[in-house]
Amino acid sequence: MFHLSMPLFWRVCLINGAVFLLGTLALALSPATVSAQPLLSELVVLLLGLTVIVLVNGALLRAVLRPLDRLTTVMARIDLRYPGLRLDEAGSGPARELVRGFNAMLERLEVERSTSTTRALQAQEAERQRIAQELHDEVGQSLTAVLLGLRYFMDTAPEPVRAELDALRDTTRTSLEEVRRISQRLRPGDLTDLGLVSALAGLARDTSARNGPHVRRRLPSSVPDLPPETELVIYRVVQEALTNVVRHARATTVDLDLSLSDDALVLRVADNGVGIRAGAMGAGIQGMLERARMVGGDLSVRSHGGGGGTEVRLRLPVPAPVLGRAGS
Ligand SMILES: Nc1ncnc2c1ncn2[C@@H]1O[C@H](COP(=O)(O)OP(=O)(O)OP(=O)(O)O)[C@@H](O)[C@H]1O
Ligand SMILES: [Mg+2]
């Protein structure tokens, strides 16, 4: 109807101008006249004319402004945590320029958000590495020195003191184990030393061993060589999913599956607990979603309803040449 890039203000002005012009022409060219003291028949004609003007104006403005209402509705649904939603430019009529601008803005925001999240997650990993290293090197070494000292004194101390020293040695040993465990959680050494499958098996064992639900593992004997950051993402997703099961699910068993298909690696952590509220999201789930996105994966967290537990599923596309190396 109008040139597409014409600003909305001018479109409305033009529509109103056209309607007023038609009304004025109708008055000027038709035999209708209005007396100083309008007659009833003249008032009826005026009223009819006014109604026609309002209706025509309304119909024309509706065509222009309805896409804006649709735009407002979709804008309210946009959530940057679930990227990829775009407005339909083709069906937006006169609001097409606005929709195009909005879509471009979303694109920029999503790129910016994903870049800053990646940066934040990388900084978090680096910080975890540093703390793990310090725990291991500083606290771990000091506790080991205390243990050695206690052992020396136990050999020479009289009997009643020896029992006290023995208790102290137990406490120190437990603390040392705890420091090692925290350090291991912060910086998964297993991942680099033993590989992904063993590291995941270790997480499963830890969960069951610490009074958590029984973890049924279905892990392949080997996985293709994956980039270290992808392996770390898989490890962190399993770690968070299992922690969530222990903290929230009240489950008795969890399935931990990792499988290889033609073009993807699929990870599944499914519990038989109370299930999760649709849309429940804390820093943990958000972190899993962002990490998955960082390496081009697709993650979902959902419940099957009726107390059917919760399933975290991560699908990572793996290029064919990498899959070809699996198990070789
Ligand atoms: N396996 C599960 N079973 C039942 N509810 C779950 C499960 N996993 C998550 N939830 C629910 O989803 C919410 C969000 O989980 P999320 O991991 O994002 O945060 P969180 O565990 O509460 O905190 P954190 O930031 O320490 O991870 C939880 O508070 C919990 O209510
Ligand atoms: Mg959590």
SS (H, E, C) 98-130: HHHHHHHHHHHHHHHHHHHHHHHHHHHHHHHHH
Amino acid identity, position 122? Q
Is the pLDDT higher at 133 or at 114? 133
Q: Domain check: are 201 and 325 in the same one?
A: yes
Distance from Cα 223 to the centre of ligand 2, integer Å: 27
Among the candidates 112, 145, 175, a domain finishes at 112
* DSSP 8-state code for residue 58: H
Among the candidates 78, 112, 146, a domain finishes at 112
Examine residue 302 and state whether it is found in any structural domain, yes or no. yes
Examine residue 322 and state whether it is found in any structural domain, yes or no. yes
Rounded Cα distance, 209 and 207, in Å? 5
Looking at residue 234, which CATH number applies to its domain?
A: 3.30.565.10
Structure confidence at residue 327 as a pLDDT band (50, 70, 90): very low
The pLDDT tens digits of the residues spanning 35-70 come to 888 888 888 988 998 999 899 989 888 887 887 887
Distance from Cα 130 to the centre of ligand 2, integer Å: 23
Which residue is closest in CA terms to ligand 1's atom 2? 249
Structure confidence at residue 181 as a pLDDT band (50, 70, 90): confident
Examine residue 165 and state whether it is found in any structural domain, yes or no. no
Distance from Cα 168 to the centre of ligand 2, integer Å: 35
**Residue 309 Cα: closest atom of ligand 1:** 3
Which residue is closest in CA terms to ligand 1's atom 12? 280
Residues with CB under 6 A from ligand 1: 244-245, 247-249, 271, 273-274, 276, 280-285, 310
* Domain interval for residue 43: 8-112
Examine residue 235 and state whether it is found in any structural domain, yes or no. yes
User: What is the number of domains present in the chain?
Assistant: 2
Among the candidates 67, 93, 112, a domain finishes at 112
Examine residue 265 and state whether it is found in any structural domain, yes or no. yes
Examine residue 171 and state whether it is found in any structural domain, yes or no. no
Q: What is the mean pLDDT of residues 239-259?
A: 95
Which residue is closest in CA terms to ligand 1's atom 1? 245
pLDDT at 285 over 70: yes
Rounded Cα distance, 311 and 290, in Å? 17
Cα end-to-end distance, the chain, whole Å: 65
Distance from Cα 246 to the centre of ligand 1, integer Å: 10
Given this model, what pLDDT does residue 99 score? 83
Q: Domain check: are 209 and 100 in the same one?
A: no
Rounded Cα distance, 141 and 129, in Å? 17
Q: Domain check: are 214 and 312 in the same one?
A: yes
